[in-house]
Amino acid sequence: MIVKTAEFVTSAVKPSQYPRTLYPEVAFAGRSNVGKSSLINTLVNRKRLVKTSSTPGRTQLINFFLVNNSLSLVDLPGYGYAKVPESVKRTWGPMIEMFLKGRENLKAVVLILDVRRIPGMEEQNCIDWLTRYRRTPILVLTKADKLSKSEQKKQRRAIGSALGQDESALVLFSAKSRLGKPEVWSAIEKVVIDEHR
């Protein structure tokens, strides 16, 4: 994908605030601080289109971006961060679920995992749930720059087997070195183009 333009569209907490124009859409989900916002910036070749932070829980709204006036990218708040206040957690879960379930133009969800961590039931449930609602999960293992090449491969195998997925379906990625950027784009394009046939 050659990114010519990338712009912020709007932030939302509820469906009435989502953009009305329904471009094919891809959302980015994962635990707090895993690197969702950094991954989007890398994909669109921008340093700060999406705000990133070393403090978990930075993204608290559903943020919509538009690429090349034809593809919508959605940055979701992270889940599973213990220090987020209970009151906030109670609203985040339903907010994200309502989006994932109800958004008609949502084609795929890039589920971002930390390459150093073996995923558990939370991630497995998320994949099952996405599949049930016909949102193709694209699995990306980020922060690969934190591991050596051989450790990356070893972790990819271990994560694949923990999730019951073929390891070839797991993309190794780094926002720092840009490893895996073309692979993430082709996975996205494949879903979006297939849908248009």
Which residues lie near ligand GTP (CB under 6 A)? 30, 32-38, 52-54, 56-59, 77-78, 142-143, 145-146, 174-176
When the beta carbons of 36 and 156 are compared against Mg ion, the nearer one is 36
Of the CA atoms within 13 Å of residue 97, those in its CB half-sphere come to 9
Q: What is the largest CA-CA distance in the chain?
A: 47
Q: Residue 155 binds which one of ligand GTP, Mg ion, none, with CB within 5 to 8 A depending on kind?
A: none
Contacting range for Mg ion; rule: CB under 5 A; set: 36-44, 80-88, 153-161, 175-183: 36-44
Among ligand GTP, Mg ion, none, partner that 38 touches (CB below 5 to 8 angstroms by kind) = ligand GTP
Structure tokens at 118: 């073996």
Round to whole Å and give the CA distance between 36 and 39: 5
Token reading at 34: 């895993």
CA-nearest of 156, 179, 178, 151 to 167 is 156
Alpha-carbon gap, residue 92 to 99, rounded angstroms = 11
Of ligand GTP, Mg ion, none, which one sits near residue 135, judging by CB under 5 to 8 A according to partner kind? none
Stretch that binds Mg ion, among 6-14, 52-60, 128-136, 184-192 (CB under 5 A): 52-60
37 binds Mg ion (CB under 5 A): yes
Task: List contacts with Mg ion (CB under 5 A).
Answer: 36-37, 58-59
